[in-house]
Structure 1
Amino acid sequence: MAHIVIAGGGIGGLATALSLARHGHRATVLERSDTFAEIGAGIQLGPNAFHALDRLGVGDGVRERAVFIDELRFMDGTTDEMVTSMELTGTYRERFGNPYAVVHRGDLYQPLLAACQASDSVELVAGAAVGRYEQSPDRITAHTEDGRTFTGAVLVGADGIRSTVRAQMLDDGGPRVSGHTIYRSVIPIDKVPEELRWNTVTLWAGPKWHFVHYIIGGGEFLNLAATRDDGATEAVAGRPAERSHVLGQFPDLGATARRLLELGEGWREWVLCDRDPVDAWTDRRAVLTGDAAHPMLQYAAQGACQALEDAVVLGDLLEGVRSDDVMQHLEKFNAARRARTNRTQLVARRIGHELYHPAGEEALARNSMLSAFSQEQLHDEVAWLHGDREFTRGGVEEWEV
């Protein structure tokens, strides 16, 4: 059994701790915040996420609060017309072995937290921001910003897109600012007219903007997320936004989508960031996972899903491994995951540019292309991502959008 230190107590960090504990190791999770909690709104979970959650023993706990979606709808946001819809029941579930669902981030986080709290092999330490690490041939030590040290056989950097572990390991600067601003709101479902309470993830695409909404919280809330390609150059996270400002960013929105957007209240805004894919996430006894390794834009709805996959694969590869042998297994983890996550990062960027934000003739061509797909063809397009149970495939070919 090895002692493994994890920087970051978010979804990826807790999933990693749980995976390692289930494979016989001891994990200490160092969380920057004073409490272990997950902020944010809705999140989409493909079948691949449920494959991972089941492996971690918390799939049923997440399912209890999940909303299982019937279809993904792609709408022309300026005309209110449906372009295409991908069915997520029947043959989709049979083919991919699990459902597609949406949850509040807290409803994903809490089962992971509860499982870690119940494990004798997981120690949770709040108020412990990792500032740097140092290592010798047989150990690695995380130094927190308040002067404490935590030593183990491995340090996992699961500390997000602005990871301090990554900063020391790769020294590659800050995240790439996408130029896209997203406005988010969560409202009680009783404020939504019954005829608009669709059991779908619905996306309205327009010129340099798109708007997504779906029900979360076991059916109690509607999650709204409206994104504008506005050329923003400064990273912003969770800043309050005036309702009038948000509504003014989407003047071309069609009538039905406008009704939904106008329901929003308590809006907050983020400027989306990601990073370019890299091939190396290891430094001897240090390894990166999740957003620290491969942060991606939300457009493929895979950020948390890929972090969960990372956790499962890392646990599998470290099963039965002694402290002396961990470095080569961390390199195997890196090799196993990079093609899949690199591809997902780049696909997420392309989706935003080529599917969600075209205008004019490009938008008409997109609509024509998507509307021609059969259900089987739509499922084929996502099979590499949604249906993968091995979490290591990905290839180098490009997805045709």
Structure 2
Amino acid sequence: MQGKDAAEDVVIVGAGMAGLAAALGLHRKGVRSLVLESSPSLRTSGFAFTTWKNAFRALDALGVGDKIREQHLQAQRLRVISSATGEIVREADLTQQGKRGPHEIRCVRRNVLLQALEEELPKGTIRYSSKIVSIEEDGDIKILQLADGSVLRAKVLIGCDGINSVVAKWLGLAKPSYSGRAAARGFAHYPDGHGFEPEFLQFIGHGFRSGMLPCNETDIYWFFTWTRSEHDKGVDESAAKMKQFVLDKLRGSKVPEEALAVIDRSEMSDVLAAPLRFRPPLSLVTASISRGNVCVAGDALHPMTPDLGQGGCSALEDGVILARCLGEALAGKDAKGSGSAENGRIEAGLREYARIRRWRSVELVATAYTVGFIQQSDNAIVSFLRDKFLSGVLAGRLLKMADYDCGTLSN
């Protein structure tokens, strides 16, 4: 337990992907940070996430990319199937050459990634069961009141505390909006091997969007998103009801039996459902991503619908860019000097981070929302245009949004 009114140079709120990536990036730059996590241990719920090329660039910059690669299969192909007709409407090579080299996509176990980041941090970096209840100011210092009664004085405050971020609220960012859609996610384990090809299957239209992707030889991650209606009441009361709801929806469409078998195999404890929310992209154009010595990253900055598979990937981008911008202001002997000079460098570093991330965040949130609307729609005109003309465009957007380079920790 920290002493009362303990002082820290950098406090990061939240031990998710953005928080741990920023902490590790700062550590690589020689800057110590303290990560406050409200839960008693790493939050590993969420099963897995689609990790595109841009995320692996960030992981490579942090020095953990190969550790993740060796535990997860690389997907070779994307197949998009119409849920209404059963026809393949688009196929794409997921290893094709992009502007910045060949593409790479793997379905990464969330707990494996978080643990890989945590293992690289000095002991004591993460302080668990530490929930912020208020933020006050004392000049340039931020005073953080914690639920356990302790107080921290922070020279820099970074909010990586998710979609309901206390730090984002303090900065005045717009409240996330409900998309009207929800998502169920699950995990199927095959101890003797699943036998599926390393490909990303997506089923679109018919009022929902679903997909599945192997993580390794024994585990398959699946998802299902749909627009809620009055008929859905009670389906999220338990994992069993949610699983049955998903199976009933899929059985009423042209989804192949092998995909249904994956969901049917999932244990009740391996099914999770949640409403899909996003921060209105236009609000980010003028939002205070940083103010003084405070900023936000990850879902605290750009919560988005999962239709691009870029939520976790962009959080890793945030972490690397933030560590680079802030690290230059705090690391090394040349960064010392008067308090006002250092504060000026910190504020300039966070402004540069905000400048880099603003338009990337706007584009990601807006594109994810649009892609999800088109792919999921059961409107006859939208469905016709999607299946005949737009599927190639949408698949191209997935690859284009992943062809982004966050840079290294030193450039």
Q: TM-score, normalised by structure 2?
A: 0.84
In structure 2, do the counterparts of structure 1 residues 5 and 200 end up closer, same or farther at CA, with 3 Å as the change threshold? same
Cα distance, 1:100 vs. partner? Answer: 1.2
1:182 maps to which residue?
A: 183
Alignment equivalent of 1:299, drawn from 301, 307, 323 = 307
2:96–2:103 contact (8 Å) kept in structure 1: no
1:2-401 to 2 correspondences below 5 Å: 3-91=9-97, 95-97=100-102, 99-116=104-121, 119=122, 123-170=125-172, 172-173=174-175, 175-189=176-190, 194=195, 197-216=196-215, 218-231=216-229, 240-242=239-241, 243-256=243-256, 257-266=259-268, 267-277=271-281, 278=284, 279-322=287-330, 323-325=342-344, 326-370=346-390, 381-382=397-398, 384-390=400-406
CA distance in 2 between partners of 1:201 and 1:369 (Å): 20
1:395 maps to which residue?
A: none
In structure 2, do the counterparts of structure 1 residues 269 and 319 end up closer, same or farther at CA, with 3 Å as the change threshold? closer
In structure 2, do the counterparts of structure 1 residues 19 and 4 end up closer, same or farther at CA, with 3 Å as the change threshold? same
The residue type equivalent to 1:221 in the other structure is: D
CA distance in 2 between partners of 1:369 and 1:221 (Å): 33
Cα distance, 1:36 vs. partner? Answer: 2.3
CA distance in 2 between partners of 1:146 and 1:188 (Å): 39
The residue type equivalent to 1:313 in the other structure is: I
The residue type equivalent to 2:353 in the other structure is: F
SS at match of 1:39: coil
CA distance in 1 between partners of 2:369 and 2:351 (Å): 27
Cα distance, 1:95 vs. partner? Answer: 4.7
Q: TM-score, normalised by structure 1?
A: 0.86
CA distance in 2 between partners of 1:342 and 1:142 (Å): 29
Paired-residue identity, %: 26
In structure 2, do the counterparts of structure 1 residues 104 and 338 end up closer, same or farther at CA, with 3 Å as the change threshold? same
Cα distance, 1:152 vs. partner? Answer: 2.5
In structure 2, do the counterparts of structure 1 residues 360 and 344 end up closer, same or farther at CA, with 3 Å as the change threshold? same
Cα distance, 1:84 vs. partner? Answer: 0.7
SS at match of 1:128: coil
In structure 2, do the counterparts of structure 1 residues 97 and 115 end up closer, same or farther at CA, with 3 Å as the change threshold? farther
SS at match of 2:120: helix
Cα distance, 1:10 vs. partner? Answer: 1.1
CA distance in 2 between partners of 1:171 and 1:237 (Å): 29
Q: Which moved more, 1:178-187 or 1:67-76?
A: 178-187
In structure 2, do the counterparts of structure 1 residues 90 and 231 end up closer, same or farther at CA, with 3 Å as the change threshold? same
Cα distance, 1:190 vs. partner? Answer: 5.1
1:203-248 deviation line (CA, Å, top 9, x unaligned):
10122101111112x32211121122124899x9995242433323
The residue type equivalent to 2:182 in the other structure is: T
Cα distance, 1:30 vs. partner? Answer: 0.3
The residue type equivalent to 1:245 in the other structure is: F
SS at match of 2:329: coil
2:194–2:217 contact (8 Å) kept in structure 1: no
CA distance in 2 between partners of 1:39 and 1:193 (Å): 22
CA distance in 1 between partners of 2:92 and 2:153 (Å): 48
In structure 2, do the counterparts of structure 1 residues 190 and 77 end up closer, same or farther at CA, with 3 Å as the change threshold? farther
The residue type equivalent to 1:219 in the other structure is: E
In structure 2, do the counterparts of structure 1 residues 17 and 238 end up closer, same or farther at CA, with 3 Å as the change threshold? farther
1:239–1:270 contact (8 Å) kept in structure 2: no
In structure 2, do the counterparts of structure 1 residues 213 and 369 end up closer, same or farther at CA, with 3 Å as the change threshold? same
Cα distance, 1:328 vs. partner? Answer: 2.2
5+ residue gaps, structure 2, are: 1-7, 331-341
1:198–1:214 contact (8 Å) kept in structure 2: no
Q: Which moved more, 1:254-263 or 1:290-299?
A: 254-263
1:37-66 deviation line (CA, Å, top 9, x unaligned):
421212101110000001011111111212
CA distance in 2 between partners of 1:301 and 1:90 (Å): 18
Cα distance, 1:378 vs. partner? Answer: 5.7
CA distance in 2 between partners of 1:135 and 1:238 (Å): 42
SS at match of 1:68: coil
Cα distance, 1:359 vs. partner? Answer: 3.5
In structure 2, do the counterparts of structure 1 residues 36 and 260 end up closer, same or farther at CA, with 3 Å as the change threshold? closer
1:115-165 deviation line (CA, Å, top 9, x unaligned):
11xx37x62100001122222333222221222122222100000001111
CA distance in 2 between partners of 1:204 and 1:192 (Å): 23
5+ residue gaps, structure 1, are: 393-401
